[in-house]
């Protein structure tokens, strides 16, 4: 093998090595690009899911709070009616008491 | 194997190894970065849910607070109406009593006697409303007032009728000092006490 042939073979080998490294860099670059899109996809998926869950929590809270408030109002109305009914039956007694206070205020 | 072949093979082997390292490093970096991103995103998602839970609690509290306020307001309005009715009825009852001389006369005697005692005078001017001026026996009234005070008092009866449902205004003869002791004034003066007592009778501990 002549010297020129040897140099040619080595030059070819160097070209091959450079190609291998270039391919590796390209692959690494693709992996990084994939990462960006993967993170974006993960982000969209996780946040969408969280927002959906949050929305469900709020809808449920609105609905439960409405029911709870209606229940409370119903019970309170019933308790209030009792107080007002009892008070209405005591009106006469209250009037008598006040009349007595006024009339006795000058004794 | 020739020296040249071995040399070129070494060049390619080194390149392959270096290439593998480049790819492996990229993969490792990616895995690490992906893991970090997932952790960060999970925290973000968790925060969104926590905020929603806090807001949900706020919704519950707000709803309950609104309904509590509404119920309380309604109850207070109804209670106020009952109290107003009781005060109105009391006024009517007092007016009825002022028509019943057996109950009203002793009240009027005490009312005038107390006013005279407060003024500390022996000669006074007493003003009554038109109805009382007509129907009340003023001689008897003066005598009963004297008895009540346990001393003789000279009462001059004002001819100017009082605009009141009952009671009297007692003043010094020069009109400089006077005690207003009308039923209306009495009612007004006692109103806060009357409201408290009525509240106790009507609503007990729920006042």
What pLDDT score was predicted for residue B133? 94
pLDDT tens sequence across A73-100: 999 999 999 999 999 999 999 999 999 9
Tokens 């006042």: give the residue: B207
User: How many residues are there in chain A?
Assistant: 107
CA distances to A41, A61, B42, B128 from B45, rounded to whole Å, are 14, 19, 5, 83
The mean pLDDT of chain B is 93
Q: Is there a contact between A65 and B55 (Cβ–Cβ < 8 Å)?
A: no
ipTM: 0.77
What pLDDT score was predicted for residue B206? 65
Backbone phi and psi for residue B154, each to the nearest 5 degrees, phi listed first: -95, 120
CB–CB contact A83 B206 (8 Å)? yes
Which residues in chain A touch residue B202, judged by CB atoms under 8 angstroms apart?
87, 90-91, 94
**A25 and chain B: CB distance < 8 Å anywhere?**
yes
Using 50, 70 and 90 to split pLDDT, how confident is the model at B17?
A: very high
Q: Is there a contact between B11 and A17 (Cβ–Cβ < 8 Å)?
A: yes
Query: Quick check: helix, strand or coil at residue B171?
Result: strand
Quote the number of domains for chain A: 1
Instruction: Report how far residue B113's alpha carbon sits from residue B119's, in angstroms, rounded to the nearest whole number.
Output: 10
CA neighbor of A62 nearest in space, from B69, B51, B55: B55
CATH topology for B100-204 is hypothetical protein PF0899 fold (3.30.2320)
Domain of A59 in residue numbering reads as: 3-104
How do the domains of chain B map onto residue ranges?
1-73, 100-204
pLDDT tens sequence across B98-152: 999 899 999 999 999 999 999 999 999 999 999 999 999 999 999 999 999 999 8
Strands (E), B28-166: 123-127, 154-157
Q: Is there a contact between B76 and A76 (Cβ–Cβ < 8 Å)?
A: no
Question: What's the mean pLDDT in B21-39?
Answer: 94
What pLDDT score was predicted for residue B5? 85
Tokens 């409201």: give the residue: B195
Which residues in chain B touch residue A60, judged by CB atoms under 8 angstroms apart?
56
Query: B131: which 2 tokens?
Result: 């109805």
């Amino acid at each position: 093998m002549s010297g020129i042939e040897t140099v040619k073979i080595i030059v070819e080998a160097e070209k091959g090595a450079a190609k291998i490294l270039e391919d590796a860099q390209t692959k690494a670059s693709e992996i990084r690009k994939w990462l960006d899109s993967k993170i974006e996809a993960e982000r969209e998926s996780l946040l969408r899911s969280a927002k959906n869950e949050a929305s469900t929590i709020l809808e449920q809270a609105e609905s439960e709070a409405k029911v709870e408030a209606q229940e409370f109002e119903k019970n309170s109305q019933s308790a209030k009616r009792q107080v007002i009914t009892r008070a209405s039956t005591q009106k006469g007694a209250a009037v008598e008491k006040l009349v007595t206070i006024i009339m006795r205020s000058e004794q | 194997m020739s020296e040249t072949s071995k040399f070129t093979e070494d060049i390619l082997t080194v390149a392959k190894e270096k290439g593998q390292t480049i790819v492996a490093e990229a993969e490792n970096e990616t895995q690490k970065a992906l893991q970090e991103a997932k952790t960060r995103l999970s925290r973000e998602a968790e925060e969104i849910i926590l905020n929603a839970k806090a807001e949900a609690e706020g919704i519950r509290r707000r709803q309950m607070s609104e309904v509590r306020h509404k119920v309380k307001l309604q109850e207070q309005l109804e209670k106020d109406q009952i109290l107003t009715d009781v005060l109105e009825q009391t006024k009517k009852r007092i007016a009825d009593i002022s028509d019943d001389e057996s109950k009203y006369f002793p009240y009027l005697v005490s009312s005038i006697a107390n006013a005279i005692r407060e003024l500390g005078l022996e000669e006074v001017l007493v003003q009554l409303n038109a109805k009382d001026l007509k129907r009340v026996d003023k001689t008897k009234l003066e005598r009963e007032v004297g008895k009540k005070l346990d001393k003789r008092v000279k009462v001059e009866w004002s001819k100017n009728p009082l605009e009141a449902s009952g009671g009297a205004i007692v003043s010094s003869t020069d009109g400089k000092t006077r005690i207003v002791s009308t039923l209306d004034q009495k009612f007004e003066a006692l109103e806060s006490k009357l409201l408290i007592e009525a509240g106790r009778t009507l609503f007990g501990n729920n006042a």
